[in-house]
Amino acid sequence: MSATPHTAFLLAAGLGTRMRSLTDKTPKPLLEVAGRSMLDRLLDALVAAGVKRAVVNVHWLPEQVEAAVAARKDIETVISDEREELLETGGALAKAYGLLGKEPVYILNTDALWGPLTPKPLNDLAAAYDPARMDEMLLLANRRRCLGFGGAGDFFLGETGALTRRGAAPHTPWAYAGVRIANPKMFEGLPVEKFSANRIWDPMLAEGRLHGLPLDAFWLHVGDPRALDDANMWMRCHGY
């Protein structure tokens, strides 16, 4: 595939628990990094990549997120409303399925950035994604080239690009960078209930149809107040 997806889905409904007290009155996606909200920074990159439509889910302080995306005049925005129940990363896609269209879509966490925040990683994903061989392709961050992530990594990356879970291994070089491209048909018929994306990924992993692509940029995982401070410092030091 080489054409840029026209639609993106942004996960913006989370409670931001690890960001308390910063998220008591501000939803996590609207916290600012170097003077601009994380949500706007990601939308900027999507627009620059050629995306025309963004579906954004809401739950915590939803009116603020709705107002923020409504203020954008450079991209069509649609709300997937989870006010009644927060559905987690898998259930959110089940609920939003009817809004995503039939063509491949980008899916983005709203607490993960890269520097410089250009559209290149998005374009790289679109160019590498081959729906004949894969159902989803995840952007992978090198654990040695990041801030804000202290985990042991998520996947091993095979020679063909297929992923396997870390399993019992003590660590792996690769962490999921919070950006992926997917075929929406994978979400058709899923129950609209709380479940994680792992339920979607497990059969893909078993069939060798979950692939990965290394991120050719520095990764910023903005998961807690210290990581937010580090991201602010890094962005300002590099003039972003």
**pLDDT tens for each residue of 75-122:** 999 999 999 999 999 999 999 999 999 999 999 999 999 999 999 999
What total of structural domains would you count in the chain? 1
186: in domain: yes
pLDDT, position 33:
96
Kindly state the tokens that stand for 149: 């992530």
pTM confidence score: 0.96
Residue 23 resides in a domain: yes
The one-letter code for the residue type at 73 is K
Q: Does residue 2 form part of some domain?
A: no
CB atoms within 10 A of CB 56: 26
- Provide the pLDDT for residue 197: 97
The answer to whether residue 1 sits within a structural domain is: no
Identify which of 64, 72, 8 has the alpha carbon closest to the alpha carbon of residue 31.
Answer: 64
Instruction: Please list the residues that pair with 136 across neighbouring strands.
Output: 182, 210
What CATH number is given to the structural domain containing 165?
A: 3.90.550.10
Q: What burial class does residue 3 get, using C-beta atoms within 10 Å of its C-beta: 0-12 exposed, 13-18 middle, 19+ buried? A: exposed
Tell me what pLDDT residue 56 has.
98
* 208 belongs to a structural domain: yes
pLDDT digit string (tens) for the chain, length 240 residues: 667 899 999 999 999 999 999 999 999 999 999 999 999 999 999 999 999 999 999 999 999 999 999 999 999 999 999 999 999 999 999 999 999 999 999 999 999 999 999 999 999 999 999 999 999 999 999 999 999 999 999 999 999 999 999 999 999 999 999 999 999 999 999 999 999 999 999 999 999 999 999 999 999 999 999 999 999 999 999 988
Its domain, for residue 90, covers: 7-237
Q: What residues pair up with 81 in beta bridges, in sequence order?
A: 58
Q: How far apart are CA 178 and CA 28, in angstroms?
A: 15
- Domain presence at residue 146: yes
- Mean pLDDT (the chain) is 96
Distance CA 3, CA 147 (A): 31
Domain annotation covers residue 17: yes
